[in-house]
Chains A and B, each alone.
Chain A
Amino acid sequence: MVESPVARLWLGRALFIGLMLLLMFIQLLPLQTAPQKWAAPDIILATTLLWTARRPDLVPVWSVALIFVIADLLFLRAPGLMAALVVIATEILRARAHDLRAAPFPVEWMTAGFRLQP
Chain B
Amino acid sequence: MARDRNTTEDFIGPIRRLLVGLLVFLLLAVFLIWRIDSPRVEQFRAAVIDRTVPSFEWAMAPITGLANLLTDFQSYQRLAEQNRDLRRELQQMKSWKEAALQLEQENAKLRDLNNVRLDPEFTYVTGVVLADSGSPFRQSVLLNIGARDGIIDGWPAMDGIGLVGRISGVGQSTSRVVLLTDTSSRIPILIQPSGQRAFLMGDNTLNPPIEFLENPDEIRPGDRVVTSGDGGLFPADLLVGQVALGSDRRLRVRLSADYQRLEFLRVLRSRPREAILDPGTLLTDPAQPDVDAVAPVEEVSDNG
Contact = CB atoms under 8 A, between A and B. Distances in A.
B179 interface: yes
Interface in A21-77: 24-25, 27-36, 38-40, 61-62, 65, 69, 73-77
B133 to A, nearest CB: 6
A25 B56 CA distance: 8
A76 B131 CA distance: 13
Contacts of B32: 80
Contacts of B68: 31
B104 to A, nearest CB: 32
A62 B23 contact: yes
Nearest to B25: A84
Interface residues of B, number: 50
A62 B24 CA distance: 10
A29 B67 contact: yes
Contacts of B259: 33-35
A39 B134 CA distance: 11
A35 B178 CA distance: 13
B60 A79 contact: no
Given A74-B49, A76-B133, A87-B24, A29 B63 contact: yes
Interface of B: 1-2, 5, 19-20, 23-24, 27-32, 34-35, 41, 45, 48-49, 52-53, 56, 59-60, 63-64, 67-68, 129-141, 179, 181, 204-206, 259-262
